């Protein structure tokens, strides 16, 4: 694993995961309360900024294995924003869940288990 900017990648990925989790929570508020729409839009901007930060940190590593997933994440965020604005809930919700799962998977790759860490040392 390329350890360049590993700490920054971990922080940005955690922020992105938290932003996506907040996005899911505000989606529930969108359905339950009239003020949920503004909160959901604001958290969408947070997700976009976190994805942009992830891309910037990934570009700084100069590793293609890190840059390509960050670009794909940013593209998915833009697709999600379009689907949300167009009210395509049948695609918007599942893609959002896939994005959250992908970011959690990325976190597991950034934090190897102790067995893998001792084997690498």
Residue 119 has pLDDT above 70, yes or no: no
Residue 81 lies in a domain: yes
Q: Cα 3 vs. chain centroid, distance in angstroms? A: 20
Average per-residue pLDDT for the chain:
90
Q: Is the dihedral of CA 10, 28, 45, 100 positive or negative?
A: positive
Residue 93 lies in a domain: yes
Token readout for 64 is 């293609």
Residue 118 lies in a domain: no
User: pLDDT tens digits, residue range 41-56?
Assistant: 999 999 999 999 999 9
Question: How confident is the model at residue 1, as a pLDDT?
Answer: 62
Instruction: Please spell the DSSP secondary structure of 32-93, one letter per residue.
Output: H-TTHHHHHHHHHHHHHHHHHHHHHHHHHHT-HHHHHHHHHHHHHHHHHHHHHHTT-HHHHH
- In angstroms, rounded to a whole number, what is the distance separating the alpha carbons of residues 2 and 22? 30
Residue 119 lies in a domain: no
Question: How confident is the model at residue 112, as a pLDDT?
Answer: 81
Predicted TM-score (pTM) of this structure? 0.87
Residue 70 lies in a domain: yes
More reliable by pLDDT, 112 or 5: 5
Residue 91 lies in a domain: yes
Provide the number of structural domains found in the chain. Answer: 1
User: pLDDT tens digits, residue range 70-100?
Assistant: 999 999 999 999 999 999 999 999 999 999 9
Residue 1 lies in a domain: no
Question: How confident is the model at residue 113, as a pLDDT?
Answer: 77
Question: Among candidates 114, 110, 116, 112, which has minimal Cα distance to 12?
Answer: 110
The domain of 87 spans: 6-112
């Amino acid at each position: 694993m390329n350890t360049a900017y590993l700490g920054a990648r971990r922080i940005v990925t955690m922020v992105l995961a938290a932003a996506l989790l907040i996005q899911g929570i505000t989606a529930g508020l969108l359905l339950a309360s009239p003020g949920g729409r503004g909160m959901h839009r604001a958290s969408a901007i947070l997700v976009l900024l976190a994805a942009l930060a992830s891309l910037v940190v990934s570009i700084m590593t100069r590793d293609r294995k890190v840059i390509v997933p960050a670009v794909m994440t940013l593209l998915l965020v833009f697709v999600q924003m379009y689907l949300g604005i167009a009210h395509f809930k049948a695609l918007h919700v599942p893609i959002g869940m896939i994005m959250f799962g992908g970011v959690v998977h990325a976190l597991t790759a950034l934090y190897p288990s102790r067995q893998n860490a001792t084997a690498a040392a």
